[in-house]
Structure 1
Amino acid sequence: MALLFALRNHPTVLTVLLLVLVLLALLALLALLAASGRVTIEAEKATRSPEDGR
């Protein structure tokens, strides 16, 4: 709550830098989750037997 107040009323370099770091951490987390999903899908495709017909 204090961060929102500081960003709205006194956007100093430190508060903007903190906001940027939080956003970068969220983007990194999303990238990791997306990469693990792709790896899982590729592993399922590789282990699927040819008789499945998919």
Structure 2
Amino acid sequence: MEILAYLIPISLGLGSLALVGFFWALKRGQFDDPKGDGERVLSKDWDDHPRP
């Protein structure tokens, strides 16, 4: 049972680290257009020069 004294804070720390990482990625705009690139690649009007 004393192992829980180590495992619970470690799991809470890892969970909070993941939550901070998610909010950091959200703030940086990583999830702005998740399907856009995949649909642009499959479209017929695909161009060799990407948009700036």
Q: TM-score range by the shorter chain?
A: 0.5 to 0.7
The count of residues paired between Structure 1 and Structure 2 equals 33
Q: Quick one: higher RCO (CA 8 Å, sep 6+), 1 or 2?
A: 1
TM-score (norm 2): 0.53
TM-score (norm 1): 0.51
Equivalent pairs: percent with the same residue?
15
- What residue is the counterpart of 1:19 in the other structure? 6
Which residues of structure 1 form unaligned runs of 5+?
1-13, 47-53
Which residues of structure 2 form unaligned runs of 5+?
34-51
